[in-house]
Amino acid sequence: MKFLHTSITVRHMDESLAFYTEVLGLLFERRRTIPENHAEIAFVHDPVSGARIELTHWEGKDQFEAGEQLDHLAFEVEDLDRYLMKLRTKNVRVSKEPYRLSGGSSRIAFILDPNDVWIELIERAPTAG
């Protein structure tokens, strides 16, 4: 398993991108809408450590309580089905079974930690070669 990124919920995407890139000096990677989730995401990363942040703006959600900003942690796994089977033997709660987002080739699923923090598991599509 490989740690990929931390996702935080933001009120305004443009303002947040400006903060993370212009103020903190992180580098912009990409930005896209996810219609089926009513969301828009953007990725930025630290050029020194490689650490990544996914900024997530949920359509219609511009206000939230303190502490709601952490959206999820993301890990890459080699075989999503096998990994979920292993987690189920340890009574880990699966909150979203494996699926693909439109326009994406990776399979994803979500589990919950003991504190109800969402953890995304991503199985990358095989690369041609």
Residues marked active site are found at 120
Q: Are 77 and 122 a contacting pair, CB within 8 Å?
A: yes
Nearest to 72 by CA among 115, 17, 14: 115
Would you say how long the chain is, in residues?
A: 129
Assigned token pair, 101: 């987002």
> Per the structure block, which two tokens stand in for 107?
């399979």
